[in-house]
Amino acid sequence: MARTKSARRSPLQQAIALLERVPLVDGHNDLPWVIRQHPEARGDVLRYNLKRVHKESDTDIPRLRQGRVAGQVWAAYVAPALPNPARATLEQIDVILRLEAAHPDVFMPARSAADILRAKKAGRIASIIAVEGGIGLENSLSPLRVWHAAGARLLTLCHNTTLDWVDSATDAPRHNGLTKFGRAVVRELNRLGMMVDCAHVSAKVMHDVLDTSSAPIIFSHSNARTLCSHPRNIPDDVLDRVKGTESLVMATFVPDFVSEEVRAWMKPLREAYNKNLPTGASWIQILAEWEKSHGKRPVATIAGVADHIEYLANRIGARRLGIGSDYFGVPTKPVGLLDVSRFPHLFAELIRRGWSEDNLAGLAGGNFIRLMRAVEREGARLRRTLRPLVGRIEDFDGMSAAG
């Protein structure tokens, strides 16, 4: 009996063929910050020149195409220590808008789930705007609506630092979760139809958001804490609650969120830099110096990422999974996943493990599109009866921004 056509193809060939047919949506990429920090470009998208391969980094148009990326969530990230965070957040959103305007033949602005499918059909990459870190709110609800009007469709509540209203996973807790203002942020995100992202929050905040949000939530770049005990990963008791919702966990490639060995090696380095490591050439230099005194850095692998995906699938179901790479401009990702061209190789690994085409299609982008549609529907429902939430932190928590 002759073998079928798919049986004659290698796992990588099967993966590429799959990603030609279905949209691949990556839930997190920090290219806007890389462009902002680039010593020559300094935030100028045209000067950065995404049309060429940036061998010193991990993301550009040629490799996005090679990786069959059909939708990219760009992070408008603002470092917690940066002055004027409200202004900086708008500047970061502006980088993404200029990226879309500079390359209209490549990127299609995607402000809805339907736009992602339209972009795929047109052979373009859906460009989705996320704000990473609520520090740019400066303790007011009003910027949420401005960000939404500018195209943002996702907010990562905080980054590596606890804010006046939300505890970070990687900082000392101050509020035992979300404050009343933090819950108001979640409710207004629901009303706007923006995704609530718990990638960087403490486990208690994860529970608080699940208690508060009327829409399904997202973890845009996190793994399973049982396999790697980094506090940025999701504990089982939270995963068990996610299983009862239509929420989404997007597995990430960050090595110390993948490998327990890498996490242990990296922990003192992250603490030395107050959890906020630099990017680019300075990070490579720092890493080289650190290896001199702490031994060679262990590595994560593509198999390790697949292990997290399989654990999560078994815990919460394959329909609640996506991929959030967290490429951020430094060549330190797991072996086999060093840049955005390598997504098909991860799918090939899962094909070798026996994953069905339906589950792979959901992981690639189908599950993200489903979640985005659900958030949009809930926002439309809420806006029919609810007025915008207005106020500052003191109106909800009875405290000033200084706490």
pLDDT of residue 289: 87
pLDDT of residue 327: 96
On average, the pLDDT of the chain sits at 94
pLDDT of residue 330: 81
Please say if 94 is a catalytic residue.
no
From residue 295, give the alpha-carbon distance in Å to each of 16, 265, 266: 38, 9, 11
**Minimal CA–CA distance to 178: which of 400, 398, 397, 402?**
397
Please say if 132 is a catalytic residue.
yes
Burial 206-217 (b: 16+ CB within 10 A, else e): bbbbbebbebbb
Please say if 30 is a catalytic residue.
yes
Q: Point out the catalytic residue in the list 38, 221, 230, 308.
A: 221
Q: Point out the catalytic residue in the list 200, 207, 230, 308.
A: 200
Q: Point out the catalytic residue in the list 26, 30, 208, 256.
A: 30
**pLDDT tens-digit readout, 125-181:** 999 999 999 999 999 999 999 999 999 999 999 999 999 999 999 999 999 999 999
Please say if 221 is a catalytic residue.
yes
Residues 56 and 37 sit within 8 Å (Cβ to Cβ): no
> CA-CA distance, 235 to 18, in Å (whole number)?
31
Q: In the chain, what percentage of residues exceed pLDDT 90?
A: 87
Q: Point out the catalytic residue in the list 38, 159, 175, 230.
A: 159
**pLDDT tens-digit readout, 323-362:** 999 999 887 899 999 999 999 999 999 999 999 999 999 9
Please say if 28 is a catalytic residue.
yes
pLDDT of residue 1: 33
Task: Tell me the three state secondary structure of residue 159.
Answer: coil
Q: Point out the catalytic residue in the list 26, 28, 197, 397.
A: 28
Q: Point out the catalytic residue in the list 26, 58, 115, 132.
A: 132
**pLDDT tens-digit readout, 49-85:** 999 999 989 999 999 999 999 999 999 999 988 999 9
pLDDT at 120 over 70: yes
**pLDDT tens-digit readout, 282-300:** 777 888 888 888 899 899 9
CATH number for the domain formed by residue range(s) 11-386: 3.20.20.140
Q: How confident is the model at residue 211 (pLDDT cuts 50, 70, 90)?
A: very high
Please say if 38 is a catalytic residue.
no
Residues 401 and 139 sit within 8 Å (Cβ to Cβ): yes
pLDDT at 402 over 50: no
Q: Which helix (H) or strand (E) holds 94?
A: helix 85-102
Q: Assign residue 311 a region (left: φ > 0; alpha: ψ between -120 and 50; beta: otherwise).
A: alpha
Q: Point out the catalytic residue in the list 60, 100, 188, 326.
A: 326
> CA-CA distance, 133 to 128, in Å (whole number)?
16
pLDDT of residue 276: 67
